[in-house]
Amino acid sequence: MEGTSLGPFCTKIRLSEEHLNELTSIKSLGNCHVKIGVLLELNTFLKSAAKVIDVAKCLQPKLSVFSDATLRTKLTRLLEVKKKLVSKKKVKGFCSVEDLQQQPFELQSKTLFATEFVAEMKLEERPIQDTDLCSQQSVQADNCSVNNDHDGTSHSTDMDNFEKAQKKTLNVYDYELNKKNKTLNKLMNEIENSKNDLKSLENKVGHFGVRNVNKRDEKASRITRQALRKSKAHVRGLTKIIEKLQNVKEENKQLAVEKEILKKELDMLNEKKLIIDSAENKKLNAQKSASYYKMKAKKLHQQIKSGESPNIDKFKHILVGENKELHNLQVQVEMLTEELNEKHCTKNLDGSYTDNVRLCVIELAALEVATEKISPAIEVVSRHIFRREIGKSDLPNSTSVQTIVNEGHYLAKAFIAAKLDTVGSWGLDRDGTTRKKKKIVDTSITLESGDVISLGLPVLPMKTQGLSMMLLRNI
């Protein structure tokens, strides 16, 4: 504890660390009260409520009347008030921490009032005893006056004066004594009345008694808890029902979407079935007609070999016609089979795309359709015009489309180069503007036959012969 200061309030009453080490050396403040600031500084320094109470009793001996628990409770309340004031909270009776520290440390107790009352009563008994002594002295004086009447009239007059004075003082003391007795009787009556009232209140048991109020509060709290539990359970049940309804709604929505998708797929399958059935019917009819003509030709051959028919040339001519018709029908059957296979196949056996798909991609690219939009465009046209669904896996992706387009560019440039190599003369360059009003040069070639072959439409700031020749070299 050495080397630390107690505080300004302790320094003001000349209280140092040495005094705290030896409590007997602490001087009492007399009738002065200890300020709250001194106790707060001692509590901060000592950090023990018991030591603070011992020092406070040494400074103010009147505090020894109170118990240590009472003083400790009072000190704890003062510390709480200080905390509230430090945190800028409002406290009744105090404006700030400095105002709290300046207030005296005071306590009121019934025992202290009783001791003071007893001391006052003792002080009041003393003049009564003095009056008794004076009355005895007056009686003795009367006896002396009776026995000594012969001493003369002068001595009797002195005694009369003395008796008058004694009577006056006796009357005064009697008046004060009667006054104090009346006050005492009044206080005793009030104490008795208060005791009786207290007993009657303690014995009284009614609707608002402590026991009944506690029972009523316990019953109300029990009923409230039960109602709260029931309401919480009801709310939980409602939340579960709501969650189930939401899940059912979501499932219904998903099922409705799946139903629409399945309905569309069923319609597409029905359309495919009709197309396949019609193709199979055509194929079956072609096979039947082919078998019919085969049988007929076979019969004719047998007739020719047997020589039954006299008109051999006529039958030969008919046979040739039938063979031609049979060949045509076979060709039609093959075409139908190829058409049927093409409807269901967009790839060759080696995994490459068929020529029809490749030509379609090249022509769409020539029509300035974006590379990423070519496959969706083919799918849309097939769905709405030919009523046939082509899966995305059956169509080329963007990389394959770009490869096919590059092949188309190569074929076009090779074709243009072959044409240029075979012609004797050709024209070059036609002017034009784009939709955005930019100047372009159409590097096209006009052949002798009048056909025009375009080499592209690059955007140019100005037309120059060197740039045109450079474009031709790139071909």
pLDDT less than 50: residues of the chain:
1-4, 110-152, 154-155, 457, 459-463, 465
Q: At what angle do helices 210-306 and 312-344 cross, to 10 degrees?
A: 160
> No. of H helices and E strands in the chain?
14, 3
Q: Given its phi and psi angles, is residue 334 left (phi above 0), alpha (psi -120 to 50 degrees) or beta?
A: alpha
Q: pLDDT (tens digit, 9 = 90+) per residue, 439-455? A: 665 566 777 777 777 66
Per-residue tokens: 58:
């040494």
Name residues whose C-beta falls within 8 Å of residue 426's C-beta, 6 or more positions apart in sequence.
Answer: 420, 445, 446, 447, 448
Distance, CA of 198 to CA of 21 (rounded, Å): 48
Per-residue tokens: 322:
């039938």
Amino acid at 92: K
Per-residue pLDDT, 451: 73
Name residues whose C-beta falls within 8 Å of residue 60's C-beta, 6 or more positions apart in sequence.
Answer: 28, 29, 32, 33, 34, 105
Per-residue pLDDT, 326: 86
Q: Residue 101: exposed, middle, or buried by beta-carbon count in 10 A (0-12, 13-18, 19+)?
A: buried
Distance, CA of 319 to CA of 296 (rounded, Å): 9
Distance, CA of 408 to CA of 416 (rounded, Å): 12
Per-residue pLDDT, 151: 45
Indicate the SS3 state at residue 152: coil
Buried b (16+ CB within 10 A) or exposed e, 209-247: eeeeeeeeeeeeeeeeeeeeeeeeeeeeeeeeeeeeeee
Per-residue pLDDT, 130: 46
- If residue 439 lies in a helix (H) or strand (E), which one and from where to where? strand 439-446
Per-residue pLDDT, 434: 64
Distance, CA of 356 to CA of 362 (rounded, Å): 10
Q: DSSP character for 150? A: G
Q: DSSP character for 89? A: -
Distance, CA of 155 to CA of 127 (rounded, Å): 29
Can you point out the beta strands (E) in 307-466? Answer: 427-433, 439-446, 452-454
Per-residue tokens: 192:
């008795």
For the chain, domain boundaries: 8-107, 214-342, 345-421, 423-475
Per-residue pLDDT, 199: 81
Per-residue pLDDT, 148: 44
Dihedral, 126, 128, 132, 137 alpha carbons, nearest 10: 70
Buried b (16+ CB within 10 A) or exposed e, 349-362: eeeebeeebbebbb
